[in-house]
Amino acid sequence: MDVPFRVTDATLDVIEVLLTGQPDLYGLKIAKEIGRPSGSVVPILMRLEDCGWVTSKWEDSGSESRGPRRRFYELDPNCDAGARRLVASRNRPKTHGIGIARPGLAGGR
């Protein structure tokens, strides 16, 4: 499968979280979910957005959350099938419904 970005384990981790369809996914939340630093997750999200696989929007300024506004990310619906094929083609072990099974990560042993 040809994809317009470099596919690393970290990229697959991010895509797997996006495939869950959880609402209000932002960089730090995704980073915590996969056990990776946000400094590596946010650039992946930006690359996926640049190539059209991910869309994002800023949190409403009137939101009740404290701190700076968050940028929410979601998989573009047109790329859902391609993302699922990409993840499936990598034959990664499964855990907590996302596909991550490495010691030290959420859900890993």
pLDDT digits 0-9 by tens, 1-39: 678 898 999 999 999 999 999 999 999 999 999 999 999
Delimit the domains of the chain by residue range.
9-89
What is the pLDDT confidence band of residue 103, given thresholds at 50, 70 and 90? very low
How many angstroms from the chain centroid is the CA of residue 107? 16
Which string of b and e fits 71-93 if b means at least 16 CB within 10 Å? bbbebbeebeebbeebbeeeebe
Quick one: CATH architecture of 9-89? Orthogonal Bundle (1.10)
pLDDT in tens, 49-72: 999 999 999 998 776 777 888 999
Task: Give the pTM.
Answer: 0.81
Q: Are 22 and 96 spatial neighbours (Cβ–Cβ below 8 Å)?
A: no
d(CA 96, CA 21): 14
